[in-house]
Amino acid sequence: MNAKASKHAQPLDHAVATAYRRPGRVRFLNPRRAVLAAAVLAVLPLTTVNADQAADAERGAIVFKACSSCHVVGPGAKNRVGPHLNGIFGRRAATIDGFNYSDDIVRAGVNGLFWTAEKLDIYMEDPQTLVSGTRMKYRGLKDAGDRRDVIAFLRQYSDNPRDIPEAAPTAVSDPVLPSEILTMQGDMAFGEYLSGECVTCHRIDGTDNGISSITGWPTEVFITALHAYRSKARDHPVMRMIAAPLANEEIAALAAYFATKGQ
């Protein structure tokens, strides 16, 4: 964790001893939840996968050889003509340190492009369709089965691939929330306090470094994502555990706080 992030996080013993008082309640940080915050794909957009579309990661490794002149994945992978692809699932676009991205894909990342199975499929079929100004001049992988197999191959090099939201073939849609929930005005000071268990893993400045960013999100997207974990619409066991005890006002507070960071 960098220094900017660490100033918002409290040591566990101090966090347990410190109460955040609000009218009618006292809230304590639970150190167990802070440790469990290693769910690094906390609030990523949900993508569903058709269970009938079986993917073959071994075949994907063979197809990927056509990509290997520009991209590397696996232990010790480094940037080449293109960035390395370790940990790509759930990562904000254009956030690998040291790689010179095009302005257009940097802008796409700032505007909320995260690499999910769905986005990777679109990008591999025709990069210009997803990011019109990308420097990736690739004619595209046109066979849907080839793309599906390459995605399955790449998934092996992301953290806990079985826990990635789109990994579950039985994934269901996010809940449709009432407008009063989506538009709830969160208390940023309260959100900053609650963020202590988030910034143990996620950087407050919005950088990636292998752990997905959760900053700068529109509040309604952040709120929808946490409600989806709380209602078990998203299949990530650790995030379900973290989101389950959160009250509506706590979710809104976190959304309000993180919306202002990393920009």
> Letter for the amino acid at 223?
I
Same structural domain, 109 and 123: yes
Give the chain's domain count: 2
The pTM assigned to this predicted structure is: 0.46
Same structural domain, 37 and 68: no
Residue 129, pLDDT > 70, answer yes
How many residues make up the chain in this entry? 263
CATH number, domain at 123?
1.10.760.10
Same structural domain, 124 and 82: yes
Helix count (H) and strand count (E) of the chain? 13, 2
In a domain? residue 79 = yes
| Residue carrying the six token digits 């440790």 | 35
- In sequence order, what are the residues at sequence separation of 6 or more whose Cβ sits closer than 8 angstroms to the Cβ of residue 145? none
Same structural domain, 243 and 229: yes
- In sequence order, what are the residues at sequence separation of 6 or more whose Cβ sits closer than 8 angstroms to the Cβ of residue 75? none
E strands, the chain, where?
19-22, 25-28
Vertex 164 angle, CA 90 and 107, to 5°: 15
* pLDDT-wise least confident of 115-124, 138-147, 201-210: 201-210
Q: Alpha-carbon distance 21 to 37, whole Å?
A: 23
Same structural domain, 163 and 178: no
226-241 pLDDT, tens digit per residue, is: 888 888 776 667 678 8
Residue 7, pLDDT > 80, answer no
Residue 210: per-residue pLDDT: 55
- In sequence order, what are the residues at sequence separation of 6 or more whose Cβ sits closer than 8 angstroms to the Cβ of residue 103? 133
Tokens of 13: 């013993």
Residue 127, pLDDT > 80, answer yes
Per-residue pLDDT band at 164 (split at 50, 70, 90): low
DSSP string for residues in 164-210: SGGG-TT--PPP---HHHHT----HHHHHHHGGGTTTTS-TT---TT
Give the residue-averaged pLDDT of 168-196.
Answer: 80
Same structural domain, 142 and 179: no
- SS3 at position 22: strand
Give the residue-averaged pLDDT of 103-120.
Answer: 89
The mean pLDDT value of the chain amounts to 76
Residue 36, pLDDT > 60, answer no
Write out the residue range of the structural domain in which residue 25 sits.
3-46+173-259
Angle between helix axes 219-230 and 248-259 (nearest 10 degrees) is 140
